[in-house]
Amino acid sequence: MKTIIITGANGNLGTAVTQKFLDSGYQVVATVVSEADKAAMPKHEQLDTRVVNLTDPQESEALVQGAIAQYKQVHGAVMLVGGYAGGNIEKTAVADINKLMMLNFETAYNVTRPLLTHLQEMNYGKLVYIGARPALNPAEGKANIAYALSKSLLFRLAEFINAGAKKTNITATVVAPSTLDTPLNRKNMPDTDPAVWVKPEQLAEILEFVCGDKSDVLRETVLKVYNNA
């Protein structure tokens, strides 16, 4: 049985992803930010939910080391923690950038850094990040400066990891969705047909594939999951 860390395991995407990995037979170490969130998680014998502040490097390392101590091997991580804010350059202060940098990049980096050492010892592992189309498309990024800048670092981080992992069985993958079909997005964009968006369950399928054995031959992968949005 493979063990996977899923950060941000509650919420629309996190719930779908966690359930998909449980259904696929993984031992899941899931992170949430509060005891209330933990209590709301489903009960499953292969689900280990932990309350962690992933903006804290020490708590993040304790999460990884604790998972390794308990399950002996951790085979990868799917890093879903993040946040969004719109705004062009004129409306975006450095503080806005720093806030999203912390949520979208630092939380992922804080898990990656200690986990990568363990994966190197195993010569195997999957690191999966959630990118964003505005980080790849300047036409969208110009209206979402803080969000696009913070997400863009995940692409570079994956490139650096893959460059250092040549000829190993360790991979870093960035999955970049367009708009997710969530109740909040339906409320905020009532004039858009949600059929063109990506359902959380569809993205969960892709994330599980990336972490599975069938994706072992993939290298330096960026997956654009846009549907027709």
Q: For the chain, which domains are there?
A: 3-81+106-140+151-225 (3.40.50.720)
Helix 107-122 to helix 57-71 angle, to the nearest 10 degrees?
A: 30
**Predicted structure pTM score:** 0.96
Q: Distance of CA 185 to CAs 13, 72, 193, Å?
A: 13, 40, 11
Sequential pLDDT tens for the chain (229 residues): 999 999 999 988 999 999 999 999 999 999 999 999 999 999 999 999 999 999 999 999 999 999 999 999 999 999 999 999 999 999 999 999 999 999 999 999 999 999 999 999 999 999 999 999 999 999 999 999 999 999 999 999 999 999 999 999 999 999 999 999 999 889 989 999 999 999 999 999 999 999 999 999 999 999 999 999 9
* pLDDT for residue 11: 86
pLDDT value for 92? 98
Model pLDDT, residue 224: 98
Which residue reads 């000829």 in tokens? Answer: 167
Instruction: Report pLDDT for 94.
Output: 98
